[in-house]
C-alpha cells in the first residue's frame, strides 16, 4: 500500500499565518502539522488561517493536532480559522463537533477578515 503524502505551505499575511494544507492528514503525517504550528507559536504567531482547499482527507489524529494547540493560541489572544473546506473534510469536522469549537468560513478572504482590527 502506497503512503499518502501531506505538505504545508505557510505564508504570513501580516495579521495571520496562513497554512495551506495539501494532501492526506492522518496519524502518519500529523507530526508535520504539529511541528508547523509549534514553530509558529514559538515565533510569536497567534492568528492562523487553515486553508483546506487542497486537503483531501483528515483523520481524528489530524484534528487532534488542532485541539492540542488551540488553548495556547487562544490564551495568547489569537485564534484558528478554517477555510475552503471540501465536503468530505467538512463532514469529518462536523461529525466530531468542530464547527462548534472553530470558525469555518468559505474562503481565505473571509478568514482574514475575522482578524481585521484585532491586531
The domain spans of the chain are: 6-111
Q: What pLDDT, on the 0 to 100 scale, is given for residue 78?
A: 93
Q: Tell me the pLDDT tens digit for each residue of 43-101.
A: 877 899 999 999 999 999 999 999 999 999 999 999 999 999 999 999 999 999 999 99
Contact 102, 69 (CB under 8 A): no
CATH class of 6-111: alpha beta
**Dist. CA 14–CA 47, nearest whole Å:** 10
Helix locations, 1-119, DSSP H = 30-42, 60-75, 87-95, 98-101, 108-113
Band the pLDDT of 6: cuts 50, 70, 90: very high
pTM score, whole prediction = 0.93
Mean pLDDT for the chain overall: 92
Query: Cell for 77?
Result: 489572544
Does 111 score more than 60 pLDDT?
yes
The secondary structure element, H or E, covering residue 65 is: helix 60-75
Amino acid at each position: 500500500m502506497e503512503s499518502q503524502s501531506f505538505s504545508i505551505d505557510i505564508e504570513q499575511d501580516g495579521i495571520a499565518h496562513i497554512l495551506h494544507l495539501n494532501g492526506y492528514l492522518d496519524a502518519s503525517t500529523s507530526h508535520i502539522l504539529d511541528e508547523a504550528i509549534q514553530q509558529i507559536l514559538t515565533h510569536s504567531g497567534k492568528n492562523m488561517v487553515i486553508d483546506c482547499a487542497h486537503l483531501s482527507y483528515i483523520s481524528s489524529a489530524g484534528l487532534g493536532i488542532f485541539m492540542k494547540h488551540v488553548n495556547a493560541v487562544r490564551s495568547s489572544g489569537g485564534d484558528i480559522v478554517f477555510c475552503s473546506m471540501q465536503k468530505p473534510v467538512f463532514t469529518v469536522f462536523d461529525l466530531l463537533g468542530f464547527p462548534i469549537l472553530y470558525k469555518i468560513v468559505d474562503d481565505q478572504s473571509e478568514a482574514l477578515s475575522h482578524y481585521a482590527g484585532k491586531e
